[in-house]
Amino acid sequence: MAVDELQAIIQRCQVLEEADFKGEDFNLFQVAGQKCLEDGYASQLLEVIQNEKNKVIIKNMGWNLISPLVRCIFMYKQEDDKREHCLKILDQLAQLCNPKELFLGLLEQIEQTSGEQVCQTVMLLLQPLQTVLLKLQNKKAYSVGLSLAMIMNQLTPLPVPYTKQQIQEDKLGLCQCCNAVVDFAKPFVSEVVKNMEKSSEYNDMELKEELLKFCMKSLKYPLLTAQLEQLEGIEEHPFRHFATEIIDILWNIRELIPLVLLHRKGKSPHWENQEFADIEQKNSAESLACLSYLMFVQHFGIDCFPMVFSPSYLLQCNMTHIEVLLIRTEESMLSKGLDLFESCLLRMENNSLLHQYLEFRGFINVPQVLVKVMTLCPIEHLRKKSLSILQLFIDKFVAEGKYTLFRCLLKTSNHAGVEGYVIKNIKDQIHLSLTKACDNTWFTGQHLISLLDLVLLLPEGAETDLLQNSDRIMASLNLLRYLIIKDCERDNQTGVWTILAKIEQNFLKPLHVGLNMSKAHYEAEIKNKKENRREAHSSNTVCSLTVSGEKMPAMTTEMQLQVLHSALFTFDLIESVLSRVEELIEVKIKGGMDEN
């Protein structure tokens, strides 16, 4: 019987001195203890462990029971008495065993767990692990750091619940586990706070660094991926609670404000370990971006932030974080980046951002990344939001800033739709300049002429793909039509009449040639399709078609004809506006001659 075998080993070891325990004794104790657990004699094993006479034996050998003990706890059902006995054994081992040996045993058990049991195992062992760590005298900071790192490494591969239903179900227990880990860390936070109030001894700094590492990891996972908006029907959002706790830890160890302002100081926070400082500097960008999102969008810890910085300065500080988030493709991170950008912009007045800010790298990079989100992101609501934020960004600049930004976007966007949007904005700024009493030199006269040279031209002359560039071309024609109507040749405020010959040479004439070539090509294609359709046995023959250099999905002949007719309609529309522009030019020139 397993209990008898255990008693025999206990009796043999009771008469030995602690130093006389041999490897064989450890093995026999582990095997007998494991057999007791597996055969259902947990209550008898508990009595053996609680016996004062066995204190020395349990201190030295008890940690060997951790692995079989965890297996049995998960094997029994929640309400089973045997499970309750196993939990009491675990608690007793935490109190009686050698802290160093038990610490390693608990960590090994956490390291070996995987899949669906990760969160269950971590939550089961957090309390005994905390008890053991609080007893440690040597290398306490290192041991706390190792424990937190091991736990986070085990949790990181698990998918973060994102939707309301996933958060409520918490299938793997991640939401509950994350908050349990924070509770596990609290005594060590209190210890750091207490020691910081007394002095700044080296050991205290070590423990502080380990807690800071944990917070940085937590910001990256799960908070960077998590959905942190308040959800209806969830009274206490687990990840919002977790975020609050992480912010509290950072504030308590006096690292919250240094981290938020880290990037503008150009150096990492003070680390005793230079190797970690190098790793942190390389890998912490996403964690810091998440921290800024929590503070400036979700307002966690905002009461602690000094309200002495201008909105433009806060925008400058956050541009690096915004870029870090927007270059990611995951919805959770993209949406955080857009929300952070929008939040910073909404703090500012329109026409208040000086053009000098565009000398900072982030102010050029972020709009370019935003354009990629607008044009390439597969998620519609994020594409729409990025467009509205681009407009918000444009609105914040003074006239010279808008002018510089427009030039940059026209040169870098490489997307006809975006270029068309920028040209529409240029038209709006010209309208303001012509109708307002104040003199705006950036969208009239020589500056505007320089800008029009970028706008009123075909990128590849008559060979330009007019269908692919139709948005840009239509916006350019509408701008030119507006300039001709609004600015008479005598006043020439915009300078358009000065460069009219160049516009005709670089834009209008090549556009005429390009339209004739494109219409002829598409009309020939339509004719060929119709002839092929008559010759084919069926009009539903599937063919391939290339439009604007891109191969279209397999379509029937009828579908192809619809696409080709649609292209012809676009050309007719461009031609109609072009004719109207040329007509207006002729009328204006004739009117000017009559006046003379």
In tens, the pLDDT along 532-545 reads 766 665 545 555 65
In a domain, 61, yes or no: no
**pLDDT at site 594:** 58
| Tokens read off for 553 | 């999905």
> Torsion angle of alpha carbons 167, 215, 311, 344, nearest 10°?
-30
Q: Which two tokens stand for residue 340?
A: 């952070």
- Does residue 82 contact residue 45 with C-beta atoms inside 8 Å? no
Residue 155 lies in a domain: no
Residue 41 — pLDDT band, cuts 50, 70, 90? confident
Q: How far apart are CA 310 and CA 313, in angstroms?
A: 5
Judged by phi (left if over 0) then psi (alpha if -120 to 50, else beta), residue 445 lies in left
22 is a domain residue:
no
* pLDDT tens for each residue of 430-465: 999 988 766 678 999 999 999 999 999 998 988 999
Question: pLDDT digits over 302-356, tens only?
Answer: 998 888 899 999 999 999 999 999 999 999 999 999 999 999 999 999 999 999 9
On whether residue 271 sits in a domain, the answer given is no
What's the rounded Cα separation, in Å, for the pair 142 and 147? 9
Cite the DSSP H helix spans in 439-469: 445-455
Q: What is the mean pLDDT of residues 152-168?
A: 94
Statement: residue 15 has pLDDT above 60? no
Q: How far apart are CA 58 and CA 25, in angstroms?
A: 12
pLDDT on residue 287: 93
Digit-coded pLDDT (tens) for 216-234? 999 999 999 999 998 888 8
d(CA 66, CA 64): 6
Q: Using pLDDT thresholds of 50, 70 and 90, give the confidence band for residue 584.
A: very high
- Choice between 24 and 281, residue whose per-residue pLDDT is larger: 24
The DSSP string of 343-404 is: HHHHTSPTT-B-GGGGGSHHHHHHHHHHHHHHHH-S-HHHHHHHHHHHHHHHHHB-HHHHHH
How much is the pLDDT for 64?
Answer: 84
State how far the alpha carbon of 547 is from the alpha carbons of 520, 522, 556, in Å.
15, 10, 15
3-class state of residue 566 by DSSP = helix
Q: Has residue 28 got a pLDDT over 60?
A: yes
Rounded to two decimals, what is the model's pTM?
Answer: 0.88
Residue 256 bridge partners (DSSP):
none
- Cα–Cα distance, 139 to 411 (Å, whole number): 58
pLDDT digits (tens, 9 = 90+) for 44-80: 888 888 888 888 887 878 788 899 899 999 988 877 7
Residue 237 lies in a domain: no
Domain that holds residue 418: 398-534+554-595
Let me know if residue 278 belongs to a domain.
Answer: no
Task: Tell me: pLDDT of 265 over 50.
Answer: no
Residues 14 and 481: their CA atoms lie apart, in Å, by 102
Poorest-pLDDT segment among 48-57, 284-293, 367-376, 482-491:
48-57
Domain annotation covers residue 564: yes
Total domains in the fold of the chain: 1
The answer to whether residue 452 is domain-embedded is: yes
pLDDT given at position 16: 63
**42 touches 86 (CB < 8 A):** yes
